[in-house]
Amino acid sequence: MASKVLVVGSGVIGLRTALELLRRGAAVRLVSPAVPSSTCSHGAGGLWMPFHCDDGRTNRWSYETLEELSSGCEDPEGRGRYVESLPAVSFKAGGDSAVGLPDWASGEWSDAASSSLDFRRLTVDELYREAKSGRFRLPPRAAIVDAGYTHAWLFRTRIVDAPLALSAMLDEVRSHGGRAEVDVGTGRSYGTPGEMADDARRHGCDAVANCTGLGARKVCGDGELVGARGALIHFDRRSVAWTTDDGEGPMTDASVTIEGGAFGSPTHPCYMIPRGDMLVVGGTYLEGDDEPDVRPDERRGLLENARRMGIDVGRSEPVGEWVGLRPYRPTCRLEVDEGLSGEGLRFVHSYGYGGSGWTVFVGAARDAASLLLDR
Ligand SMILES: Cc1cc2nc3c(=O)[nH]c(=O)nc-3n(C[C@H](O)[C@H](O)[C@H](O)COP(=O)(O)OP(=O)(O)OC[C@H]3O[C@@H](n4cnc5c(N)ncnc54)[C@H](O)[C@@H]3O)c2cc1C
């Protein structure tokens, strides 16, 4: 008999897990107190780049996600509606010997994914030459050089328009008709994993996927899980004014990240992500800070970051701002809970993907589905 799985959580992890289960022939009951548009996943940058997701499985999950995002992303009627392939740049200070490569750039997991990433380490001069010939937009060069940046990583990333992607995933879940029960936006939270297990049995499920993100801190009493706060401001991508346009025709937006040197730090990274119809400018990475609003001094810092990125802040006003808490854990929790499993029920946790939920979600969902169904 095919399984029926209670999937708890309507963020990127819960939705993609539900989809993976449905694609493998299982039935699903998807529940969440929140609709997808109220989740952390909805406000995220949607950039494919491993960031604060420290797990031995992160690279494999990331490459599996990159492969899925890449397939059909050039089709404006298909995945291209919500996935864009764009240049991504990360500036580095400190001279040649200080600039290493990230382990995820090695291509260890898949030649196809690694070649589509086209990862390169360049000097700043080389990078600006590339940008000129490829006509992609970078921060003002003089400021980058004056601030001491000497090198950069350049690669081709995929960026997900998170709101559209969540809505497409929910539509696909619903399209499975009788095999998919959807009960999201109920306002009802589980207090313990035991409550999830009881509810699963009541609804004829033989498995549970706990995809509650940061909610698992309370539900599971998981003290290793912390919220890492990120604050962002948004600009309208279609109407924003740039200080860097060269007047020689249209330019492609690039994602730019600076986590060190004069402009950024690990707790206050300076970044810009072109996501759908907006430009997302960040940011912060502050573990344990749960202030829900953007603070006045942060807003000033974010505007300064926008200016550093080349946005003409004298002529362009932000159109929104957002604060979210990344569910960070020293290692992700994707495992069978042997204590809660038994008596005909399999219980799997899938949470703690830090700043990388949109980078790892496909690989993580595949692993969760295997743990839930392969018995
Ligand atoms: C500022 C910021 C920028 C980011 N940018 C990026 C990026 O560019 N790229 C990237 O890969 N990642 C990014 N992230 C990280 C990404 O957003 C997260 O890793 C991802 O959203 C986690 O998804 P999730 O489904 O686990 O959790 P969530 O989206 O938080 O969903 C959790 C779900 O569980 C439900 N839930 C919680 N508690 C309970 C309970 N007790 N009972 C029942 N249901 C419950 C919630 O209602 C919700 O539906 C960013 C995050 C932030 C904050």
> Helix H segments across the chain?
12-23, 40-43, 58-70, 111-117, 124-134, 141-146, 162-174, 193-202, 216-219, 296-309, 357-373
Residue 360 lies in a domain: yes
- Residue pair 243/311 in contact by the 8 Å Cβ criterion: yes
- Residue 171 included in any domain: yes
Give the distance between the most distant pair of CA atoms in the chain: 69
Give residue 71's pLDDT. Answer: 87
Q: Is residue 101 part of a domain?
A: no
**Closest residue (by CA) to atom 20 of ligand 1?**
357
Ligand 1 neighbour 39 (Cβ under 6 A): yes
pLDDT tens digits, residue range 85-113? 999 999 998 766 667 778 888 766 666 66
Which residue has a Cα nearest atom 48 of ligand 1? 9
Q: What is the pLDDT of residue 18?
A: 98
Q: Is 363 in the pocket of ligand 1 (CB under 6 A)?
A: no
Please give the number of the atom of ligand 1 that sits closest to the Cα of 231. Answer: 1
| Domain assignment of residue 24, yes or no | yes
Ligand 1 closest atom vs CA 159: 8
The pLDDT assigned to 188 comes to 94
CA of 299 to the centre of ligand 1 (A): 23
Q: Is 351 in the pocket of ligand 1 (CB under 6 A)?
A: yes
Tell how far the Cα of 40 is from the centroid of ligand 1, in angstroms: 4
CB 260 within 8 A of CB 220: no
Q: How far apart are alpha carbons 156 and 130 in whole angstroms? A: 13
CB of 358 shorter than 6 A to ligand 1: yes
* In-domain check, residue 190: yes
Q: Is the CB of 34 under 6 A from ligand 1?
A: yes
If you take atom 28 of ligand 1, which residue's CA is the nearest one? Answer: 11
Q: Is residue 177 part of a domain?
A: yes
Cβ neighbours of residue 341 closer than 8 Å, sequence gap 6 or more: 347
Mutate to test the pocket of ligand 1, among 38, 47, 62, 212 (most ligand atoms within 8 A of CB): 212
Which domain covers residue 200, as residue numbers?
Answer: 4-45+163-225+330-373
Residue 340 falls inside a structural domain: yes
* Contact (Cβ atoms closer than 8 angstroms) between residue 13 and residue 364: yes
Task: Give the total number of structural domains in the chain.
Answer: 1
User: Is 219 near ligand 1, meaning CB less than 6 Å away?
Assistant: yes
pLDDT digits (tens, 9 = 90+) for 253-266: 999 999 999 999 99
pLDDT of residue 77: 85
Give the DSSP H or E segment for 207: strand 207-210
Low-confidence spans in the chain with pLDDT less than 70: 1-2, 95-98, 107-113
* Residue 187 within a domain: yes
Minimal-distance CA residue to ligand 1 atom 16 = 357
C-alpha distances in Å from residue 43, one per residue of 82, 163, 301: 14, 8, 19
pLDDT of residue 110: 65
Q: What is the CATH number of the domain that holds 336?
A: 3.40.50.720
Q: Does residue 215 line the site of ligand 1, with CB under 6 A?
A: yes
Write the DSSP assignment of 117-140 as a string of letters. HT-EEEEHHHHHHHHHHHTB--S-
Interval between CA 215 and ligand 1 midpoint (Å): 9
Minimal-distance CA residue to ligand 1 atom 47? 34
Judge if the beta carbon of residue 11 lies within 6 A of ligand 1.
yes
